[in-house]
């Protein structure tokens, strides 16, 4: 089975969500958080949204940090959102 880092990478690649710059990057991040477990559906405060729009590296750092965690629910949610793994991937 893939670890969370690999699942995050697969999800971001399959859904073309790597560019996190500006307002569209924040929307992509919200899409990712929604897939992870419904966290992005209410959006961010204006202050946080402006910060993230101006600092896409912060979004990337959060995504990398998420990949290092071992949250079974997040893994299951992302597995449901990515193409099935073939036997050579595991």
What's the CA gap between 19 and 35, in Å, rounded? 17
Sign (positive or negative) of CA dihedral 4, 69, 81, 56: negative
Q: Could you tell me the pLDDT band of residue 84, with boundaries at 50, 70 and 90? A: confident
Domain extent listing, the chain: 4-79
- pLDDT value of position 41: 66
Whole-number pLDDT of residue 5: 92
Q: How far apart are CA 28 and CA 42, in angstroms?
A: 14
Q: Above 70 in pLDDT, residue 90?
A: no
Average pLDDT on 67-90 reads: 83
- Greater confidence (49 vs 88) lies with 49
pLDDT value of residue 83: 85
pLDDT at 27: 92
**pLDDT tens profile 16-75:** 998 999 999 999 999 999 999 988 667 789 999 999 999 999 999 999 999 999 899 999
Q: For residue 23, what are its two tokens?
A: 């307002």
DSSP state, residue 39: T
């Amino acid at each position: 089975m893939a670890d969370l880092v690999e699942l995050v990478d697969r999800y971001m690649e399959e859904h073309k969500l790597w560019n996190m710059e500006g307002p569209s990057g924040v929307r992509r991040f919200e899409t990712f958080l929604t897939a992870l477990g419904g966290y992005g559906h209410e959006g961010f405060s204006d202050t946080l949204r402006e910060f993230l729009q101006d600092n896409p590296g912060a979004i990337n750092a959060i995504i990398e940090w998420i990949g290092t965690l071992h949250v079974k629910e997040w893994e299951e949610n992302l597995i449901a959102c990515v193409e099935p793994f073939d036997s050579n991937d595991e």
